[in-house]
Structure 1
């Protein structure tokens, strides 16, 4: 199979570019980037030199390459390797570091390899989710993105996470519920929910979980399914109309979620 590389700009996350590549012949000479690279080898092994050392990157490893770090990259042995990357612009990196760290301090970046199969698996699933649907970002993907970047920065010690204590106030929680009920048939974003509470996204995620015991996405999906039950019971709407009315624009997704929640498809409710 021939070498190939694909890049995708994510419009809802300005400054983020996703890469997906397969290399069997091509090798990277010594070079550097102006953006921050998160690299994941999914098949095969890549040999990389940086900072006076040589490392082997395979499945389960996460490579972090800061702007300006001189490095190369080539296949190890005779086989090909596949690579998926997140490329964060300096502005996006600084904004995320400030949001997670709670201050405008510049993150302490260094080239590093994390051997963490669980984190690598989460990042790969996030990468795939962001590439689907022409880069449209759901509440779930937004939450995963922020949570995984916080985990990545913490493990690499690039950013010290700000301490977030306490729960949403009763007024904030009521505002979230009111907003979700009012916009249930529309796309609801993490930015909107955090704004309703007057909080940053990172603060909101942690305080919501402490308040409710569920992620915002999981709670919103359940709210939509409960409202769907009420609409189906009236028997005046088709299943497709109910699905769209509560915010499921893919009827097959609605059917799967409904069956998982209630044990039967919507047609049997």
Structure 2
């Protein structure tokens, strides 16, 4: 990944204003390390879909890391399943993992990355899998998982603190990062408890159907959609689509779309602080009250009380 000059984080309020300050049509992507601790590191990566780096045929993860996507992008990981990256999930990269991207939006690939020391990863993973051993070379067994709203908000608050705080609290940051890692690993070991098809060809076709469904939901985020319409576009039956999507993701299609809309709203909140009705409409809700209640149910507080 290429590096760009530092930006003035102290003058940046939330990620939306950060994006406004930096035109991603410029030549270089942005990669910035925001925090270096004793056993955890955190940074950002922003690469426009117009940049040649986006289409590089092979990337290799230099560390064991976890990324939180900010945008929708299709990830192809060598030896693993295709991943539709979105704010609904986190992606796991073992050291040396080869991958490449495909465009789902003009925005490109925006994410935050978290790196943890091998010993810390092994210690946390062994809480949930005592047979895991040290696992220092390939600690992650999944390419990605869908994450809870609580975990996402936790991560957003850490990044927000790093971008806006005049004085950083290292003790608070280290503790928050450890809680975040523990929560992600706990969720990863609860993920995909449903039975998956035994035949590899069937499992692959089911995975492909889920990927195509997720891509359609991302494209149609702001417009009403019915199950019949989705099934018709995907050339399958409504029953088969519902069953396979839940079997692979552990979520219903409605739940996945609802989470995607609310997490997009969280992303856009700084732009709409004084126009929550406009934000509700922008992410596909029919009215302000329905949106506010759904947001409160997901994040524990109404959008007007998020400190971004």
Q: TM-score, normalised by structure 2?
A: 0.42
**Higher Cα Rg: structure 1 or 2?**
1
Q: TM-score, normalised by structure 1?
A: 0.48
Query: Which structure shows the higher strand fraction?
Result: 1
RCO greater where, 1 or 2, for CA within 8 Å and sep 6 or more? 2
